Structure formats: structure tokens, C-alpha cells
A = this chain, B = another copy of it.
Amino acid sequence: MSARRPEAKLNAAAPVFAALGDATRLRLVARLCTGGPASIAALTANADVTRQAVTKHLHVLEGAGLVHGLRRGREQVWEIEPAKLDEARRCLDIISTQWDAALERLRAAVEDG
């Protein structure tokens, strides 16, 4: 899907980076990755903000497609969406690669001149 149009990929990736661009949310993501699925109460225990704040952050992450929640009894369990993480990582790969290519072109041009 659209390996020829890095632009589109970049535009799609911006919201993911925005979601990761908050210390609390990044810690939530890390926590969900290392500890596996967890309820809001469990996630709040390790955070230094209110349960409501954690809930909001989880919804932001959900909006970016980074996590999804499911009801289990009286608690809501949140789980990571690893595909989105990969997507972001690949986006950075693309950019870095383009930079490397630019460097290579520059080097070649200098050698040529």
C-alpha cells in the first residue's frame, strides 16, 4: 500500500507520533508492552495522575490506533496494538533512508567534481 507515496504515509503517521509525544502516554504504552493488558485501575496505580487523566490518555492512544480496550466484567482492559508501533517505526526508517540516500548523492557529486 503506497510504497510510492511516502507523503501519504507521513501524514498518516503524524497523529501516531503526536499520541506518543506525551510522557504519561509513552509510559502507558511501555507499561502495556512490558506488562501486557491491564485495567484502568491497574494503570492508574503506576501513574502520578488521576484515573480520569489516565482514561483520557488511553482514549487518545486509541484514537491513534495504538491501543484498544475491551470490557471484562466491571473493568475495562486495555491492550497494545503492535501494528501501529511498527508503522511508526517504519516511517522513521523511510525518513532516515532518504537522508542516507541524500548523503550518498552528495558524496558522489563531490567525488565527481
Residue in B closest to A19 when the chains form the complex, CB atoms: B21
Q: Are B99 and A33 in contact (CB under 8 A)?
A: yes
Report how far A15 CA is from B6 CA in the complex, Å.
Answer: 23
Quick one: which of A71-96 are within 8 Å of B by CB?
A: 80, 82, 85-86, 88-89, 92-93, 95-96
CB-CB under 8 A from A80, the residues of chain B are 99
Residue interface bits A43-65, CB-to-B below 8 A is 1, else 0: 00000000000000000000000
| Residues of chain B within 8 A of A36, CB atoms compared | 102, 106
Copy tally for this chain in the complex stands at: 2
Q: Is there contact, CB below 8 Å, between A27 and B15?
A: no
Chain A at the B interface: mostly helix, strand, loop or mixed?
helix
Which size class do A's interface residues fall under? 35 or more
A1-37 toward B: CB 8 Å interface, digit per residue (1/0)?
0000011001101111111111100110110011110
Interface set of A (CB-CB < 8 Å, partner B):
6-7, 10-11, 13-23, 26-27, 29-30, 33-36, 80, 82, 85-86, 88-89, 92-93, 95-96, 98-99, 101-102, 106
Given contacts A6-B30, A10-B23, A21-B21, 4 further A-B contacts (CB under 8 A): A7-B30, A14-B21, A33-B99, A82-B96
